[in-house]
Structure 1
Amino acid sequence: MGLTIDVSQADPGPVRVAIAGDVDLATVPELSAALTAAVSGRPQAIVVDLGGVTFLDSSGIAALITGYQLAEEHGVGFAVTNPRERIRWVLDLAGVWPYLSGEEIEAGT
């Protein structure tokens, strides 16, 4: 399955990047370009909706982390939302869900 990326913004409001399909080595360049373009517009925040993502590999996780770091460097809020159970499990397993989702990380956990 390919990748579909829909970028939209309600004014005022965050930029919403809705992703559907497989996020893997073959499709990561599209995701990276969309996240970079979203950050370059200097919105208040970017919300990445993973509700349509059916597969996420390590290169996809790396692209999300890079998008998060780029947004942080430019003072733009960044949050990943709405992952399917399997995708959330992968992000938890990689240890990045608390950072990408914007959830508070409790001391000692």
Structure 2
Amino acid sequence: MWDWGSGLLTITSRDGHDRVQVAAIGEIDRDTVATLADTLTIELDRYSAPAVLCVDLGEVTFLAAAGVNALLVGRRYAYRRGVSYQVVNAAGIALCVLRALELDSVLLSPSL
């Protein structure tokens, strides 16, 4: 497990047998999105092919367009590597944003 981030966004990452869980805590906007995007890329590159990359948004307090883009880019990168990609626990503003953009059915998985 490791933590990475700035004052507005912290990312924690845990790996299991064939599963990597990345949790975002705080605000995801244009000033903090690189932390999330870099973490998703690093975690996918760090393993030859984890079966699942799970992004937990349960503690996200703000989700801007830049954050949504990072989630979509992460999904595409995972797909190209043959890795299942799940976004879980979206609530509050994060869930509202994904629903407003009609991306809830594309990105969200049931909470694990």
TM-score range normalised by the length of the shorter chain: 0.7 to 0.9
> Could you tell me which amino acid in structure 1 is paired with residue 57 of structure 2?
L
CA drift of 1:49 comes to 0.3
- Do structure 1's residue 85 and structure 2's residue 95 form an aligned pair? no
Listed as ranges, the matches of 1:13-92 within 5 Å are 13-40=18-45, 41=47, 42-92=49-99
CA drift of 1:38 comes to 1.3
CA drift of 1:99 comes to 1.2
Q: CA RMSD in A?
A: 1.3
CA drift of 1:86 comes to 2.5
> Could you tell me which amino acid in structure 1 is paired with residue 10 of structure 2?
T
SS at match of 2:37: helix
Tell me the equivalent position of 1:9. 15
Which string of whole-angstrom CA distances, capped at 9 and with x for unpartnered residues, describes residues 23-63 of structure 1? 00000111110000111122111010001100000000000
CA distance in 1, matches of 2:73, 2:34: 12
CA drift of 1:102 comes to 4.3
Moved more, 61-70 or 77-86: 77-86
Q: Give the unaligned 5+ runs of structure 1.
A: 104-109
Q: Give the TM-score normalised by structure 2.
A: 0.85
Which string of whole-angstrom CA distances, capped at 9 and with x for unpartnered residues, describes residues 2-21 of structure 1? 100001012x2410001000
Q: Give the unaligned 5+ runs of structure 2.
A: 1-6
